[in-house]
Amino acid sequence: MVSPARKVNIVKKRTKSFVRVQSDRFKRVGASWRCPRGIDSRTRRRFKGTRPHPKIGYGSNKNTRFLLPDGFRKFTVHNVKDLESLVMLNRTYAAEIAQNIGAKKRVELVERAKQLSIKVVNADARVRAVEN
């Protein structure tokens, strides 16, 4: 199996998601983040004791951004030509077969990736065991 060119320790500054203001008080208000816009909003004015806002300081390290835990970056593949573009970068990028690719094409792509020694992230998807 192909190993990444260099394994870097990924450090996340924050793993908890940012919660929307008053989502704990009303069922109709979902938890996914929305920027507060009220003229008197304590959260928008960033008073002490209010929820943290997403901001640029929470960004990941440039070297480890978009890295998978195994040290590869993802590259979406639709056909064999896309797969062959990863030959020189097979220790940096791992192929991810696109979601709209059928089972027959997937088998071809996984076989070709094995020949080119390219890691496929979702190699097991939509593959049934062949009955003899």
Residues 38-46: contacts with CB under 8 Å, at least 24 apart: none
CA 19, CA 51: separation in Å to the nearest integer?
8
C-alpha dihedral sign at 70, 75, 81, 87: negative
Is pLDDT at 63 greater than 60 in this prediction? Answer: yes
Q: How big is the CA angle at 67 (ends 92 and 30), to the nearest 5 degrees?
A: 150
Q: Name the residue type at position 89.
A: L
Q: Count the Cβ atoms, other than its own, within 10 Å of residue 112.
A: 17
Q: Average pLDDT in the 50-61 region?
A: 94
Is pLDDT at 15 greater than 60 in this prediction? Answer: yes
State pTM to two decimals: 0.79
Is pLDDT at 129 greater than 70 in this prediction? Answer: no
Which pLDDT does position 126 carry in this prediction? 86
Which pLDDT does position 128 carry in this prediction? 74
Better-predicted residue by pLDDT, 82 or 130: 82
* pLDDT tens column, 65-75: 999 999 999 99
To the nearest whole number, what is the mean pLDDT of the chain?
93
Which pLDDT does position 47 carry in this prediction? 97
